[in-house]
Chains A and B, each alone.
Chain A
Amino acid sequence: MDALRERWLAIAGAALAVLVVVALAGSDALVIGVITGSAYGLVALGLVLIYKSSGVFNFAQGEFGTLAVYALYAAHQHVPYGVAVVIALAAAALVGLIVERVIIRPLFDAPRVTLLVATAGVSLLAIGLEFWLSGDRLLHNVDPALPNPDRITLAGIAISDQRLLLLGALVVLAALLGLFFSRTNLGLAILGASQEPTATELVGISVKRVSTLVWVLAALLGGLAGILSVPIGKTFTPGVLTTGGLSALIPGFTAAVIGGMTSLPGAFVGGIIVGVAQTAAPEFHFLNGVDNPGTLVVFVLLVAILVIRPQGLLGRTA
């Protein structure tokens, strides 16, 4: 009975999505929205990963990305772009490792809200360090990996290669992570550790090692989100992915909630939905005269999903 209802809801959701797509067809909002949404989806993937394994909202996820962008910027001054990307990703992974070892591990048995405050603290520390080390010059420039601005044109809009790369990365990563969690032993170990830590320890899996792995993986995803999406806008400031120009953290969370906080494909779909809704917001006539209608739409989306369907579109009630 419930399964049937779920299916109908899914179909209704899909129909609604198709309607929106038809309504927006040919407008810039759809194309740009899908691509902005991929950045949100990437952030959401990392959030879901950490939530699945430790039940924590990771407010530092955006900063993993920003720190990677700073590393990319710093490294690119000395080495070619490809090497700089590797260095940036390594830096993100290292930050994830340090955060897990120094902050998360000692708080293993603390209440969830303490961990939540801790991740917010990490986020603020990262922003503070970025402000400090930038000194007087807050705005920096960073080049995209693929500079070609208009290889293909869709609905009259030229799409840069960097944007395609971002979209492609999201699709590939979501698929890979899906396979990782269903097919590999390691993925199953992570799932087990999140659902039943004691039993997982009993069958010989170190829950703590799993936690380290998850944080490193999430930081890598965050870093990837940063170095792929920030160069599209070409400039960045401290905290760019958390509160700055791109502010992907809140849309990322909204995307993850839409996906039910535990579903990886859900995070992917949620990211696209949030991206399109946010980009399309200025075209809704009833929002005329409102500052930043996109922010309003994202907030309404979050509230609406919590009121109507708290377990998310693709989530299951545990």
Chain B
Amino acid sequence: MTVVNESVVEGTAEVVGIAPVSTTRPGLPFRPGPGGWAARGALVLAVAFLVVVFPLTQPGPDVQIFTQAVIYAVIGLSLNVLLGYTGQISLGHQAFVGIGAFASAYTVSVQGQSFWVAIVVAMLVGALQAFLLGAVSLRVTGLYFALVTLSYGLLAEQTLFGIDKFTGGGAGQPAPKPAGFATDHRYYFLCLAILGAVVFVDWRMMRTKAGRALLALRENPRVAAAYGINVKAYTLFAFVVAGVFAGLGGSLLAHNDTFVQANVFDFRLALVFVLMTVVGGLRNRSGVVIGSAFFALLGYLIDREYTFPITGWHLQIEKLLAKLPLVPDLTKEVAPLVLGPILLLVTITMYPGGIGQQLRPVGRWLRGKRFDRHDEGPKEVMVADVRA
């Protein structure tokens, strides 16, 4: 990571006399005027309105979908720890999430514990699974984690979820919403707060010694090892953190639906988790959150009827998709399955930074810099011939 002190760079550039286009006070770094600050404030307010106020106006079932989007963001951040920070991938994340969901539901419904105990149990279960599977895969290389988790996902789907005591059989395990957050709206804000906490923990973690070690070993494990970083221990640490986040996400998901059913957690869900994280943009928290929310809401956005003000026009994307010639209907169930992978492949091959990178100029603008459309952040350099 080449993190450069930006103010220093801008300062030197202006001394040399290259950069300034319309500086009002030469010699000083760019500062937006009152109008600029107002525009930035307006954007922040608009986003805050969309996230905080808008859901209050919507009916309960819709809010449940928004809550799901928030929870997906937690799961996306969990995968981001693996994929973004260590460069390993889990293809069985639906199992981590699903077992977290059942562990939470089991603790509440069968053991009669409170929601807060259940959430901790789910996180511990997630940590334990990730630790064991990670330890096995690291016998070879981290890439084997993909294989082991893939196999584990199928095991969970076909065998573990068949244990009726744990999952409540075909009817599913009830998972009531916690006291004080019993309505869909209140639960939404609870999840939003937890997402905030996860983002905070993730951000602080990457500022610690462990976080820097993770970034170093992702870029080149051999060089990292040469600098005295215990590659296996830190990779395992990241697996455990990802497991904790995934268990947390599972627990929240369980109490959002109030009934956990095994058939939700199938292989395709695991791939959706990977899609949303990569398309969101690895190592970019806001990108991952946006990407995850987008994929969680994709079906809803396609299905929803939009009414334009003034003109009174109606628009429903599903109806548009149904008019495609020659091929069967692209229904709201199938559309994410087709569009998602295409987005993923386009992201990987053409815009590896994902949504996060595309939004980077906006983020920098919000923090009081000039809007620079071409600002794509530090380029990633891969050392191709020292691959591990």
Contact = CB atoms under 8 A, between A and B. Distances in A.
Interface of A: 55, 57, 59, 102-103, 106-107, 109-114, 116-118, 120-125, 127-129, 131-136, 198, 242-243, 247, 249-250, 253-254, 257, 290-293, 295-296, 298-299, 302-303, 306-307, 310-311
B24 interface: no
Interface in B265-295: 266-268, 271, 274-275, 278
Contact of A292 (B147, B158, B275, B330): B158
B151 A307 contact: no
A291 B162 contact: yes
B345 A103 contact: yes
Contacts of B148: 302-303, 306
Given A124-B275, A310-B140, A292 B341 contact: no
Contact of B151 (A102, A111, A250): A250
Nearest to B388: A112
B258 to A, nearest CB: 25
7 contacts: A103-B345, A109-B382, A117-B278, A120-B274, A121-B341, A295-B154, A306-B144
A113 B143 contact: yes
Nearest to A135: B328
B342 A125 contact: yes
B338 A118 contact: no
Given A57-B146, A113-B87, A290 B349 contact: no
Which of A55, A111, A127, A290 counts the most B-chain CB atoms under 10 A from its CB? A111
B344 A293 contact: no
Nearest to B153: A250
Interface string B133-157: 0001101100110111011101100
Given A107-B349, A117-B89, A132-B327, A253 B337 contact: no
Which of B83, B268, B271, B382 counts the most A-chain CB atoms under 10 A from its CB? B271
A195 to B, nearest CB: 13
Nearest to B272: A124
Contact of A121 (B83, B137, B163, B345): B345
B162 A113 contact: no
A243 B89 contact: no
Contacts of B158: 291-292, 295
Interface residues of B, number: 50
B14 interface: no
B341 A132 contact: no
Contact of B91 (A59, A129, A133): A59
A116 B384 contact: no
A129 B159 CA distance: 28
Interface of B: 83, 87-89, 91, 136-137, 139-140, 143-144, 146-148, 150-152, 154-155, 158-159, 161-163, 266-268, 271, 274-275, 278, 327-330, 334, 337-338, 340-342, 344-345, 348-349, 352, 382, 384-385, 387
A253 B278 contact: no
A121 B337 CA distance: 10
A72 B162 CA distance: 35
A243 B163 CA distance: 21
* Contact residues of B: prevailing secondary structure: helix
Contacts of B345: 102-103, 118, 121-122, 125
B182 to A, nearest CB: 34
Nearest to B277: A117
Contacts of B328: 132-136
A132 B349 contact: no
A103 B349 contact: yes
Nearest to B349: A106
Given A111-B382, A121-B344, A128-B340, A295 B271 contact: no
Contacts of B267: 242-243
Contacts of B348: 103, 107, 110, 114, 117-118, 121
A110 B88 CA distance: 14
B235 to A, nearest CB: 12
A120 B91 contact: yes
Given A124-B337, A291-B158, 9 more contacts: A110-B382, A113-B88, A131-B338, A257-B147, A290-B159, A291-B161, A298-B151, A306-B136, A307-B136
B253 to A, nearest CB: 21
A290 B266 CA distance: 19
Nearest to A129: B338
Contacts of A243: 154, 266-268
Which of A110, A116, A127 counts the most B-chain CB atoms under 10 A from its CB? A116
A306 B140 contact: yes
Nearest to B145: A113
A57 B143 contact: yes
Contacts of B151: 250, 253-254, 298-299, 302
Nearest to A253: B147
A102 B345 CA distance: 9
Nearest to B155: A299
Nearest to A110: B382
Contact of B352 (A55, A114, A298): A114
Contacts of B159: 290-293, 295-296
Contacts of A107: 348-349
Contacts of A291: 158-159, 161-163
B334 A128 contact: yes
A127 B87 contact: no
Contacts of A298: 151
Contacts of A131: 334, 337-338
Contact of B338 (A103, A114, A125): A125
Contact of B162 (A242, A250, A292, A306): A292
